[in-house]
Structure 1
Amino acid sequence: MQAAAHLRYARISPRKVQVVLDLIRNKPANVAAAILQHTRKAASEPLLKLLKSAMANAENNHGMDVANCYVSKCFVCPGPTLKRIRPRAQGRAFQILKRTSHITLVLEERENS
């Protein structure tokens, strides 16, 4: 059984999120939470909140034991890009791309063999 949590339209670039997601993939949920708490990246704060949401979904909606859960899948997809204009010299304008992300995090329960 698996429990998922989604974060849509996060105002952070997918490249920055991907670096932090690589740190927690296939780790136990409590270890992943500890990694996110001590990682000094901008993406770690919304990812920690998303992980806690997935853990709550697993416990309350699916009746899973959170102590046996691990991060089975986590990925980020680019969301819509906000386009802004920055004035430059001699009347020119440069485009600033403010990227957004759609983040998905899936927890699964380990098989006790």
Structure 2
Amino acid sequence: MKTMVISMMLIFLITMIITSMIMIFSKKSITDMQKSTPFECGFNPMSYNRLPFSIHFFMIAVIFLIFDIEIILIMPIVLTYKTAMLMNWLLTSIMFTIILLLGLLHEWNYGMLNWTK
């Protein structure tokens, strides 16, 4: 019990030393105007806010986010292969893949995957 308390105090002490060293030696620039202004998707926030924005770029970004989330959903399917019942696992993974392929076909038919038109 005593060694655990000593080790916890030692960890706390090392953490506090490292934190204080970071705060002392970190390079802070208060006068840098570019770092203190907000950054909004590459646009200057002080300029005219009705600049033309490519809707196609926005749609590509949304498609990327959707497929990124789908990859996150695929990972548990792959990891549960050995623990789940085979028929339920197979049916779920095939249905999920069919939904993904139908969405991809829909985007392809509407030309959302073509970067230049």
Larger radius of gyration: 2
State whether TM-score is above 0.5. no
Compare relative contact order (CA 8 Å, sep 6+) and give the higher one, 1 or 2.
Answer: 1
- Give the helix-richer structure, 1 or 2: 2
